[in-house]
Amino acid sequence: MRPERVTALRRWRRRGGLALLVISPLSASALWLTFQHKPSWYRPVLLNADNFQRARREAVAAADDFGDKLVAGRPFEVTLRQQSVNEWLAALPEIWPEAKDALPPELSAPAVRFEPGLLRIGAHLERAVGQTILSVDLVPEVSKDGASIGIAARALRAGSLSIPRILFERVLPWFDPQAPSTAPDDRVSIGQLFSGVTSSNRFVWPNGERAFRIQSVSLIDGELHLNIEPL
């Protein structure tokens, strides 16, 4: 190879090395900012004393109304509004202390977002290495014969960054079916959730032991609609 070509090649390598030294920190910073970004939809409710009492009354009233309609024995529709559900989630640990065990200690401040055909759930994750908003997109569906109801994950995110499910399992070990854990056996892995988890479409309302099933479920912007059939 001619000396001038060798010199040019070395010059380009030096320039490439300098470019990498500049680009790598910028890329890492952009990735970290994406990881740290708080999604605009994630709005957990902070309740004061007055709002807490109102949320508690509304949750109790909604439960009583559901039970009364089951007793009537006729199909009916339930509409859950996003804002109300987020207020109930905020009040739940005080109303039902055992609910705190539903999330691992690293997660707090859960919130939901109802979008057309999509249920988005997020929570604040705090660990020694940093903090972010973990979220999962879920699609619920009733089987054609109405015998089962399923839910499947479509995406996982940390902040605004899409993450592979294997990383999610490492961040939250209790999602990993192979990890030693004292978590309840009914918890499922992220892999199973992506494949779709189904269960029998028969439920029992605890107040009065009334059985029912979900005829259909639909999501629009800000609302979740359930058609209920008493059994």
How buried is residue 217: exposed, middle or buried, by Cβ count under 10 Å (0-12/13-18/19+)?
middle
**d(C-alpha 159, C-alpha 35), whole Å:** 5
pLDDT at 31 over 50: no
State how far the alpha carbon of 65 is from the alpha carbons of 47, 77, 193, in Å. 24, 11, 32
Is the pLDDT at 89 greater than 70? The verdict is: yes
On whether both 27 and 95 belong to a single domain, the answer is no
- Both tokens of 148, joined, read 């089962």
Same domain, 85 and 10: no
Q: How many domains does the chain have?
A: 2
Same domain, 20 and 131: no
- Could you tell me if 131 and 96 lie in one domain? yes
Q: Please tell me whether residues 59 and 18 are part of one structural domain.
A: no
Beta bridge partners of 76: 228
Distance (Å, whole) CA 36 – CA 161:
9
Q: Are residues 97 and 12 in the same domain?
A: no
Residue 59 CB coordination number (10 Å): 19
* 224 pLDDT more than 70: yes
Q: What is the pLDDT of residues 62-81, one digit of tens each?
A: 989 999 999 999 999 999 99
Q: Domain containing 145: what range?
A: 40-230
Q: What angle do CA 87, 112, 66 make, to 5 degrees?
A: 60
Q: Are 134 and 122 in contact (CB under 8 A)?
A: yes
Q: What are the CA-CA distances from residue 82 to residues 29, 38, 96, 200 (Å)?
A: 34, 18, 20, 26
**60 and 17 belong to one structural domain:** no
Report the distance separating Cα 1 and Cα 23, nearest Å. 31
Residue 200's pLDDT band, with cuts at 50, 70 and 90, is very high
| Locus of tokens 């740290």 | 36
- Chain mean position to CA 107: 11
Asked whether residue 114 falls in the same domain as residue 221, the answer is yes
Residues 6+ apart with CB under 8 A from 177: 188, 189, 192
Q: What is the pLDDT of residue 105?
A: 74
The per-residue pLDDT for 168 is 59
Residues 152 and 171 in one domain: yes
Which two structure tokens, joined as six digits, stand for 48? 């004061």
Of the two residues 128 and 107, the one the predictor is more confident about is: 107
Separation between Cα atoms, residue 216 and residue 136, nearest integer Å: 22
Exposed e or buried b for every residue in 105-136, given b needs 16+ CB within 10 A? ebeebbbbbbeeeebbebbbbeeeeeebbbbb
> pLDDT of 159-194, one tens digit each?
767 776 665 555 554 444 344 444 444 556 666 777
Q: Which residue has the higher pLDDT, 13 or 123?
A: 123
Q: Across all residues in the chain, what is the average pLDDT? A: 75
Task: Note the pTM of the prediction, 2 decimals.
Answer: 0.73
Domain match, 8 and 117 both: no
- The answer, yes or no, to whether residue 218 has pLDDT greater than 90, is yes
The β-bridge partners of 197 are 151
Same domain, 5 and 65: no
